[in-house]
Amino acid sequence: MSAWGHGFFENDNAGDWAYRLDCSRDLHFVEETLDRALGPQRLAFWEGEEVLAAAETVARLKGNWGRCDSATRPVDDWIKNTSHLLTPALIEKAAAALERIAADSSSLSLVWEGSRLHEEWLNNIADLRA
């Protein structure tokens, strides 16, 4: 895992996802990413990182910006330069995806479990869900 912090955009996979988002004209890419977390298959850790980035994007679209820095800039710019209407269904989907990623059995949670930052990571997910 190439990560430099416990923030949702502080890893290479979320950064790559954010740059792919920039090519998107609507929320379909965000929703497609969240849908992967809700399927029957177990996600690889890198997919979990992308799902967290998508959920964070939904929060930012709701006006809950959180920390803005160079890692979040591609998503922040995409949001500022486009107008998208969130649906209650997409917000619910993001919340359900967060629950699945935070579960003890998720691949990403298992990766973080061995880190001294595991509790902070879980707290970030709880804050995002709230």
Structure confidence by residue, pLDDT tens digits, 40-84: 888 898 999 999 999 999 999 999 988 899 989 999 999 998 888
CB-based contact 6:13 (threshold 8 Å): no
24's tokens = 């998107």
- Residue 85: what pLDDT? 84
Kindly tell me the burial class for residue 36, based on how many C-beta atoms sit within 10 Å of its own C-beta (0-12, 13-18, 19 or more): middle
- Residue 117: what pLDDT? 86
Q: pLDDT: is 9 or 57 the higher one?
A: 57
List the one residue out of 87, 98, 67, 92 whose CA is nearest residue 27: 87
Q: Among 31-40, 42-51, 103-112, 121-130, where is mean pLDDT lowest?
A: 103-112
